[in-house]
A and B are shown apart, each in its own frame.
Chain A
Amino acid sequence: MKDEPYIVKMLREAGKYGRLQSRVTSNIEELDTVEEPSEEVPEKTVGFIDDDVERKSRDDVTKSEGLGETTEESEDRYRLIFENINDEIVYLDKHGKILDVNNRVEDIFGQKREDIIGKNFTKLGFFGIKDLPRMIKLFKDIVMDDKTIDRMELESKHKDGHKIFIDVNIRPIRKNGETEAILCIIRDITERKKKEEELIRFSNAVKMSTDSIVISDLDAKIIDVNEATLQMYGTKDKRDLIGKNSFDLITSEGREKALAGAKEVLEKGYVKGREYHIITEDGDRIPVEMSVSIMKDRDGKPIGFVGLSRDITERKKAEEKIRRQNIKLKRLDRIKSNFLSVTSHELRTPMSAIKGYIQMLLKQRLGDVTPEQKDALDAVLRNTNRLDNLIEAILDISRLESGTMKFLPEQTDISKMIKEVTETMQANTNVKNIKINTELEELPELVIDQQRIKQVLMNLVDNAIKFSPHDSTINLCTKMKKDDVLFEIRDFGRGIPKKTQKKIFERFYQVDSGMDRKFGGVGLGLSISKGIIQAHGGDIWVESTMGKGSTFRFTLPLEPARDIEKKFKDLDIFGLEKK
Chain B
Amino acid sequence: MTKVMVVDDEPDLREMLNLMLHKEGFETEMAEDGSEFLNKLDSFNPDLVTLDVMMPGLTTSEILKKLKEKKSKPKIILLTVVRYSEEEKEKILEMGNVVDYITKPFDIDELTERIYKHINQQ
Contact = CB atoms under 8 A, between A and B. Distances in A.
A451 B13 CA distance: 26
B86 A359 contact: no
Interface in A316-360: 341, 344-345, 348-353, 355-357, 359-360
A363 B112 CA distance: 13
B83 A351 contact: no
Contacts of A408: 83-86
A359 B107 contact: yes
Contacts of B13: 349-350, 352-353, 356
Nearest to A407: B85
B16 A353 contact: yes
A54 interface: no
B10 interface: yes
B105 A365 contact: no
B23 A365 contact: yes
Interface in B5-57: 10, 12-13, 16-17, 19-20, 23, 54
B10 A353 contact: yes
Interface in B68-96: 79, 81-86
Given A353-B13, A353-B16, A359 B108 contact: yes
A15 B105 CA distance: 120
Interface in A278-298: none
B82 A406 contact: yes
Contacts of A410: 86
A342 B12 CA distance: 18
B104 A366 contact: no
Nearest to B79: A352
A18 B12 CA distance: 132
A350 B10 contact: yes
B62 interface: no
A344 B108 contact: no
B80 to A, nearest CB: 9
Nearest to A384: B105
A359 B111 CA distance: 12
Contacts of A363: 108-109
B105 A348 contact: yes
B26 to A, nearest CB: 13
Contacts of A355: 105, 107-108
B108 A356 contact: yes
Contact of A360 (B10, B12, B19): B19
A536 to B, nearest CB: 16
Nearest to A409: B85
A227 to B, nearest CB: 63
A180 interface: no
A75 interface: no
B12 A365 contact: no
A356 B16 contact: yes
A408 B85 CA distance: 5
Given A348-B104, A349-B104, A356 B20 contact: yes
A369 to B, nearest CB: 14
B77 to A, nearest CB: 14
B116 interface: no
A344 B81 contact: yes
Given A341-B82, A357-B16, A408-B86, A349 B10 contact: yes
B108 A360 contact: yes
A366 B108 contact: no
A388 interface: yes
Interface in A393-451: 406, 408, 410, 451
Given A344-B81, A408-B83, A410-B86, A351 B20 contact: no
Contact of A352 (B54, B84, B104): B104
Interface string A495-520: 00000000000000000000000000
A417 B17 CA distance: 32
A117 B86 CA distance: 101
Contacts of A352: 13, 16, 79, 104-106
Contact of B104 (A341, A351, A359, A365): A351
Nearest to A391: B105
Given A351-B104, A352-B106, A406 B83 contact: yes
Contact of A366 (B23, B79, B84, B107): B23
A350 B104 CA distance: 10
A356 B20 CA distance: 8
Contacts of A348: 81, 104-105
Contacts of B82: 341, 344, 406
A550 B79 CA distance: 41
B86 to A, nearest CB: 7
Contacts of A406: 82-83, 85
Residue in B16, B81, B86 with the greatest tally of chain A CB atoms within 10 Å: B81
Contacts of A345: 54, 81, 104
30 contacts: A341-B82, A344-B81, A344-B82, A345-B54, A345-B81, A348-B105, A349-B13, A349-B81, A350-B12, A351-B104, A351-B105, A352-B13, A352-B79, A352-B106, A353-B10, A353-B13, A356-B17, A356-B105, A356-B108, A360-B19, A360-B20, A360-B23, A363-B108, A363-B109, A406-B82, A406-B83, A408-B83, A408-B84, A408-B85, A408-B86
Interface of B: 10, 12-13, 16-17, 19-20, 23, 54, 79, 81-86, 104-109
Given A351-B105, A408-B83, 20 more contacts: A341-B81, A341-B82, A345-B54, A349-B13, A350-B13, A351-B104, A352-B13, A352-B16, A353-B10, A353-B13, A356-B13, A356-B105, A356-B108, A359-B109, A363-B109, A365-B20, A365-B23, A366-B19, A406-B83, A410-B86
